[in-house]
Chains A and B, each alone.
Chain A
Amino acid sequence: GIQVEQSPPDLILQEGANSTLRCNFSDSVNNLQWFHQNPWGQLINLFYIPSGTKQNGRLSATTVATERYSLLYISSSQTTDSGVYFCAVSAGYSGAGSYQLTFGKGTKLSVIP
């Protein structure tokens, strides 16, 4: 099956700093999502981005499908950005199982005041 690797596994930032999180995947994809899991466990959709670039406030994401990676940018980080960021993909072929997401292990972000 498709493999998803996220880096770095842990990241500590001073409030106000910028960061880049990376997601590498091993096969072509038809779905790529970035999630933020808050300390209560809620999984919040950040971006649906199988290709291209999107921005939402201080967050932006870029997926280069041909090179099999995606980047999540966080600018001017705040303490509320703390949590775990997951990248998840589903493979770009039809058939049973084609809609299931494969998750990376996440990047744990801690933003300190």
Chain B
Amino acid sequence: DGGITQSPKYLFRKEGQNVTLSCEQNLNHDAMYWYRQDPGQGLRLIYYSQIVNDFQKGDIAEGYSVSREKKESFPLTVTSAQKNPTAFYLCASSLRQDNQPQHFGDGTRLSIL
């Protein structure tokens, strides 16, 4: 079945450690996105990529980095510079056109040890 796979479902980070969240899609979508959700809040955009080897900062990019070497993959690294990384992270993808819905993965919950 086509879809978006995020892994792992749960992740724990030690102080000063970088961690990488995986997002893979087999929908042949050009655009991919990373969102962060804090408890009781809506989603906020971290980074997005419209094509391979190109990506743009969203509203809350500080302390995060991404890469887009393949169309199917858009990993997110939470660096040690992100002082409050505990959150629920959701990846999405869409066709790179106007009037196209975004489809979401099941998310990764990141916590600090």
Chain B interfacial residues counted at CB < 8 A: 30
Q: Is A94 an interface residue (CB 8 A)?
A: yes
- Taken residue by residue from 3 to 44, chain B's Cβ proximity to chain A (1 for < 8 Å, 0 otherwise) reads as 000000000000000000000000000010101010011111
Closest to B102 in A: A101
A31 adjacent to chain B (CB < 8 Å): yes
CA distance A98 to B50 in the complex (A): 10
User: What is the distance, in angstroms, from B89's C-beta to the closest C-beta of chain A?
Assistant: 10
The reply on B71 being an interface residue by CB < 8 A is no
Size bin of chain A's contact surface: 20 to 34
4 more CB-based (< 8 A) A-B contacts, given A4-B42, A41-B107 = A1-B59, A30-B99, A99-B98, A105-B42
Report A's interface with B, CB cutoff 8 A.
Answer: 1, 4, 30-31, 33, 35, 40-43, 45, 48, 50, 86, 88, 94, 96-106
In the complex, which residues 70-113 of chain B have their Cβ closer than 8 Å to any Cβ of chain A?
88, 90, 92, 94, 96, 98-104, 106-107, 109
Tell me if B103 and A45 are in contact (CB < 8 A): yes
Can you list 27 A-B contacts with CB-CB less than 8 angstroms, sorted by A residue number? A1-B59, A33-B101, A35-B104, A40-B106, A41-B88, A41-B106, A42-B106, A43-B90, A43-B104, A48-B101, A50-B99, A86-B42, A86-B43, A94-B98, A96-B56, A99-B50, A99-B96, A99-B98, A99-B100, A100-B33, A100-B45, A101-B92, A103-B35, A103-B44, A104-B42, A105-B42, A106-B41
Which residue of chain B has the shortest Cβ distance to A86 in the bound complex?
Answer: B42
- Grouping DSSP codes into helix (H, G, I), strand (E, B) and loop, the A interface class, with mixed when no group exceeds half, is loop
The verdict on A99 contacting B48 (CB below 8 Å), with A42-B107, A43-B104 known, is: yes
Chain B residue with minimal CB distance to A1? Answer: B59
A99 touching B94 in the complex, CB below 8 Å, given contacts A45-B101, A88-B43: yes
With contact pairs A31-B101, A33-B101 given, residues A101 and B96 touching in the complex (Cβ less than 8 Å): no
